[in-house]
Amino acid sequence: MADKKFYITTPIYYPSDKLHIGHTYSTVQADAVSRYKRLRGYDTFFLTGTDEHGQKIEDKAKEAGVTPKEYVDKIVDGIKDLWKLMNITNDKFIRTTDEYHEKAVQLIFNKMYEKGDIYKGEYEGLYCKPCEAFWTETQAADGLCPDCGRPVITAKEEAYFFKLSKYADRLLEYYAAHPGFIEPAHRETEMVNNFIKPGLQDLCISRSTFKWGIPVPINPDHVIYVWLDALTNYITALGYGSEDDSLFKKFWPADVHLIGKDITRFHTVYWPAFLMSLDIPLPEKVYCHGWVLLDGGKMSKSKGNVVDPVQLAERYGVDALRYYLLREVAFGADGIFSNENLINRINSDLANDLGNLVSRTVAMVCKYFDVTIPAEREDGEFDAELKALAAETKTEAEKYLDALNFSESLTSIWKFISRTNKYIDETAPWALAKDESNKARLAEVMYNLCESIRIISVFVAPFMPETSVEIRTQLGLAPVEDWEECGVFGKEETYTVVKGDIIFPRLDPEKELEELASLNKAPSNPLRDEIEGVAKIGIDDFAKVDLRVAEVKACEPVAKAKKLLKLTLDDGTGEDRTVASGIALYYKPDELIGKKVILVSNLKSATLCGVESKGMILAADAGEEIKVIFVDGIANGTKIR
């Protein structure tokens, strides 16, 4: 059984923001290969989870006015829901705030310490005092804190260090002795040349400027560095360091750590060194996939261009999205996401090629044979070629799936789908159906088509699990249980088909693109639109307005002007100032006397209904009424800026 186990992990995600389509890509890949391995009879363990400690989370929780745990709990629920929606079949979901994990991480720290791989030293870096945060040279490139913009200083703090430098040679030896440990290979070259060979520095593995982390067991004023905490999830999830480590014994070493290219260094340098320190064997492979990008580059919350997987999955179906991600991003490379590409893929690959093949075939079996294909059948031209390609496709699909090359695997499967469609054109069942003497040949053609579709339902099962089940339902078959089924042409004796819905309805590209664009527009906000519509002024323009606190000394109506009140103001100069204000419908003169108002003192004077008004007072246009802005406790004449 030992060689029939498969342990795969995804990175554990930061529960700081909503996950986007890039994170979904990471997890969907791990799910596809896990499903494939299960179908091949491997005892599979698929791990994902969340990475919940660190200053960022602590800060965000503070901002939100909740505890860090309350903050992450909510987001983690959303992440679990997303994986449920995407049909992710993880065997375990680890949270780094789980008690067993925290305990095991402390035990790991102690083990490394006892081995002499951890020592106390001084961490020196660029420090922002008000934010209590250390920054790297790049982060604080201009000498300013990237968070608050205040100058950073060079500061030292006591910290624990891991002797990473000690492992440099062993790491290089390990890479050399284990080709394929890091994939794609150019990532290994990158690590060796840019990182290990120039000289590995020891790694600071504790922090004392924030609290949200696992306490260092030998000094609880410090918390353990998030990456030491996070990376060890791959073994703590299996019970390493707990009373029951049977899963660890069974599944470790991991067969694949599937990660995004941005976290290669942590997984191929730090993690192996930690494992060496603990005398634990290294994982078989670290596979660094590329990124899902947008036309203009990275997705980012600040750019407001984050693609929401929930929105797309709900609109087009989970399988369409899974297919698109796995097909569109080439092995180890970045892929560009666009709504246009997605819709084209759905229309051409899923609706036209696959969906049509299934519905045409089922419809023909219904039409020509009233749902059941007769037993009397006759081989003919084109059959052998179709069968040969089925066998070839199995080999190809397996080769690429084993190598985690999802897009090539799907490309070869689609070649077989196209070949099956071509078989319909070549055999022309509609022509055969015209003559009763062709009945046995027609039966064989229909049978071969159903067999091809059955095989396709196995091929697509890891990628599009619901579609596989739907296809098989229409063929009258139970869900696939064994991958090897796709290696046998002629498995079923016959088929009794069940007409079903169209699996992938064709989309109207123009309409879809328009609707997607409008969905992603910021929700309408008339007030914001109104504010944005007001012509912008510079600070210099604003500085031209002289605003002062003034007190209403006297107030009276203006004859012949129903709306006007004449105010006598004390503006702090010792001289009375007269202002006419259009507020008579909302205030009685007595209500204003003694009140302090805001005066626009440098407004050119104007005569209103016989009153020379020197300035104006500020009031809010509150819909049905006008409300004067009153101020309190500020001396008359004080400037307002």
Residues that bind ligand MSP (CB under 6 A): 11-14, 22-23, 25-26, 51, 230-231, 233, 259-260, 262-263, 291-292, 299
Q: How far is the CB of 342 from ligand MSP (least distance, A)?
A: 15
Cis peptide before 253 (omega within 30 of 0): yes
If the CB atoms of residues 305 and 344 are measured against ligand MSP, the closer one turns out to be 305
Q: How far is the CB of 311 from ligand MSP (least distance, A)?
A: 16
If the CB atoms of residues 297 and 610 are measured against ligand MSP, the closer one turns out to be 297
Looking up tokens 């070493």 gives 253
If the CB atoms of residues 247 and 299 are measured against ligand MSP, the closer one turns out to be 299
Q: How far is the CB of 365 from ligand MSP (least distance, A)?
A: 42
Neighbours of 448 (CB within 10 A): 25
| Distance in angstroms (rounded) separating the CA atoms of residues 129 and 353 | 61
Q: How far is the CB of 322 from ligand MSP (least distance, A)?
A: 14
Structure tokens at 78: 């959303």
If the CB atoms of residues 252 and 459 are measured against ligand MSP, the closer one turns out to be 252
Helix/strand/coil for 625: strand
If the CB atoms of residues 140 and 230 are measured against ligand MSP, the closer one turns out to be 230
Q: How far is the CB of 497 from ligand MSP (least distance, A)?
A: 40
Which residues on neighbouring strands pair with residue 596, listed in sequence order? 551, 631
If the CB atoms of residues 263 and 580 are measured against ligand MSP, the closer one turns out to be 263
Q: How far is the CB of 257 from ligand MSP (least distance, A)?
A: 8
C-beta contacts of 197-200 below 8 A and 24+ residues apart: 199/165, 199/168, 200/164, 200/165, 200/167, 200/168, 200/171, 200/269
Q: How far is the CB of 35 from ligand MSP (least distance, A)?
A: 20
C-beta contacts of 302-309 below 8 A and 24+ residues apart: 304/522, 306/18, 306/20, 307/20, 307/21, 307/337, 308/18, 308/20, 308/21, 309/19, 309/20, 309/21, 309/24, 309/82, 309/86
Answer for the pair 304, 230: CB distance below 8 angstroms, yes or no: no
Structure tokens at 295: 């036309």
Q: How far is the CB of 456 from ligand MSP (least distance, A)?
A: 28
Answer for the pair 513, 491: CB distance below 8 angstroms, yes or no: no
If the CB atoms of residues 238 and 599 are measured against ligand MSP, the closer one turns out to be 238
Query: Residue 534: which residues within 8 A CB-CB, separation 6 or more?
Result: none
DSSP 297: B
If the CB atoms of residues 259 and 569 are measured against ligand MSP, the closer one turns out to be 259
| Distance in angstroms (rounded) separating the CA atoms of residues 176 and 170 | 10
Which parts of 216-270 fold into alpha helices (H)?
226-231, 233-236, 246-251, 264-265
If the CB atoms of residues 29 and 427 are measured against ligand MSP, the closer one turns out to be 29
DSSP 181: S
Among all residues, whose Cβ is closest to ligand MSP?
A: 260
Q: How far is the CB of 93 from ligand MSP (least distance, A)?
A: 14
| Distance in angstroms (rounded) separating the CA atoms of residues 53 and 212 | 6
| Distance in angstroms (rounded) separating the CA atoms of residues 496 and 475 | 7
If the CB atoms of residues 231 and 373 are measured against ligand MSP, the closer one turns out to be 231
